[in-house]
Structure 1
Amino acid sequence: MSKAIHELTFEEALAELEHIVRALEGGGLPLEETMALYERGRALADRCQQLLQEAQLRVQLLERNESGAIHLTPFEG
């Protein structure tokens, strides 16, 4: 059984998404299975995007110092 999408790491989600893309490109699947794979693939793509956005926020955060200058600081969530 596949892990729940919200439990997957970026690497796991991307690997599964690549597998799904290959299966869909290969064709020959029944419509019901094709649709199920497509829906899971969309959810996996969304998960990858979410994790990338979270990583970007952790790497840097724009802040304004007392003089009004903007600088980047590490995000410590």
Structure 2
Amino acid sequence: MTEKAVSEMSFEEAMRELEQVVGQLERGDVPLEDSIALYTRGAELKKRCETKLKEAEEKVAAITLDAEGQPTGLKPVEGL
């Protein structure tokens, strides 16, 4: 089975795999070469999670509220 590209993962998928990677590394029963590969994959997953969170924060920040505090729509956010 091939690994899904990190760039195609949802936040939830990346977080789930990151938790698995961390668990394997914490157990310490992985050969050194595999540990390096896991660490590299973990770094990519962490970056993906950070990117997806930033995107979500920007979308939430773009919501405008009317006088009663109700959302009136989304402002376009550059790059999204």
- The TM-score range, normalised by the shorter chain, is 0.7 to 0.9
Return the alpha-carbon distance in structure 2 between the equivalents of residues 13 and 76 of structure 1: 26
Return the alpha-carbon distance in structure 2 between the equivalents of residues 75 and 18 of structure 1: 34
C-alpha displacement of 1:38: 0.2
Return the alpha-carbon distance in structure 2 between the equivalents of residues 14 and 20 of structure 1: 10
C-alpha displacement of 1:62: 9.0
For structure 2, the 5+ residue unaligned runs are 65-72
Partner in structure 2 of residue 32 of structure 1: 33
Partner in structure 2 of residue 17 of structure 1: 18
- TM-score between the two structures when normalised by the length of structure 2: 0.76
C-alpha displacement of 1:7: 0.1
Partner in structure 2 of residue 50 of structure 1: 51
Alpha-carbon deviations, 1:5-50, whole Å to 9, x = none? 0000000000000000000001121111000000000010000000
Return the alpha-carbon distance in structure 2 between the equivalents of residues 7 and 62 of structure 1: 26
Secondary structure (helix, strand or coil) at the match of 2:52 reads helix
Question: Contact 1:13–1:47 (CA<8 Å) still a contact in 2?
Answer: yes
Partner in structure 1 of residue 67 of structure 2: none
Tell me the percent identity.
Answer: 43
Question: Contact 1:6–1:47 (CA<8 Å) still a contact in 2?
Answer: yes
